[in-house]
Amino acid sequence: MTANFGVSSSVSADSVSANASTGVSVPIALPKDLEQRRMPSHVAVIMDGNGRWAKQRGLPRIMGHRKGVDTLKKLLRCCRDWGVDALTAYAFSTENWGRPTREVDFLMTLFERVLRQELKEMMEEGVRIEFVGNLSALPETLQKEIDRAVTMTRKNQGIRFSVATNYGGRQEILQACQAIATQVKEGALQPEDIDESLFSRHLYTSDISDPDLLIRTSGEMRISNFLLWQLAYSEFYITDTLWPDFDTSEFHQAMLAFQKRDRRFGKVNDKES
């Protein structure tokens, strides 16, 4: 991943130097108007608008997905540099199988190719990649590539990068219910033992904190079956920008908005009590 993308004017010039000619990654310093201690720990993104981006340029939809991968790589790197601990990206929903076969096939091949091509850099940059979703329905060659990337990066200590692939929030909740019901039926668990913490441990995201912030591009005001349980108290940031155009300065705007939010988690502010 190289940081050769647009940076906002408040990022100091020396912090983003050099990489255009050398291709060497240079960390992107946190903009001065952001507070490190108020950065979200976990950011989730619904990467919407690839098709429209391509259409606006008279290109096939798949070109939007291809450009979308570049955007995701740059965002991952920016999150890492700015101290975000985890990024979860919605790459393919359980409903996306209903798209034209050509587009589905392209996406599966794209995931596979990106995983193969980026593994070395993910290792160098300490990225730990994980997948959430029903992976057993994916093409076998992709499953193998996923296994390889997850296993190789398992011990990396940098940012955690979760890719939601063949993911559906309702399906995730149902499979958790089935697993818990089976344990109750077998006598291994009493119904009164089922609490939020136990339930969370049966989700695909069992060992990762809930997102602090959900970003959705392309202006749609929908959750689209994404992380239904986990987003209960997340802040939402929706921008009209199409995913391929979501650059660092857009992410900077999202962070500024997030840092202004008053997160009360259903309680009242200390000052108001």
- Which residues are known to be catalytic? 48, 96
Residue 183 near residue 149 (C-beta atoms within 8 A): no
CA angle 169, 174, 179 (to 5 degrees): 130
Using the minimum distance from each CB to ligand FPP, give the nearer residue, 93 or 230.
Answer: 93
Residue 54 near residue 64 (C-beta atoms within 8 A): yes
**Residues of span 92-121 touching ligand FPP by CB under 6 A:** 96, 111, 114
Work out the number of other CB atoms within 10 angstroms of the CB of residue 129. Answer: 21
> Which of 76, 91, 142, 180 lies at the binding interface for ligand FPP (CB under 6 A)?
91
* Integer CA distances (angstroms), 206 to 44, 161, 173, 209, 210, in order: 15, 14, 12, 8, 10
Span of 18-26, 44-52, 223-231, 261-269 interacting with ligand FPP by CB under 6 A: 44-52
Span of 5-13, 48-56, 182-190, 253-261 interacting with ligand FPP by CB under 6 A: 48-56
Q: How far apart are CA 213 and CA 101, in angstroms?
A: 33
Is the CA virtual torsion 246, 249, 255, 258 positive or negative?
Answer: negative
Using CB under 6 A as the binding rule, whether residue 31 contacts ligand FPP is answered as no
Using CB under 6 A as the binding rule, whether residue 127 contacts ligand FPP is answered as no
Grouping H, G, I as helix, E, B as strand and the rest as coil, residue 2 is coil
Please report how close the Cβ of residue 20 comes to ligand FPP at its closest, in angstroms. Answer: 24
Using CB under 6 A as the binding rule, whether residue 47 contacts ligand FPP is answered as yes
Residues 218-247 vs ligand FPP: string with x where CB under 6 A?
x-----------------------------
Using CB under 6 A as the binding rule, whether residue 169 contacts ligand FPP is answered as no
> Which of 1, 30, 44, 69 lies at the binding interface for ligand FPP (CB under 6 A)?
69
Total interface residues for ligand FPP by CB under 6 A: 17
* Integer CA distances (angstroms), 49 to 61, 141, 262, in order: 10, 27, 29
Residues that bind ligand FPP (CB under 6 A): 47-52, 65, 68-69, 72, 89, 91, 96, 111, 114, 163, 218
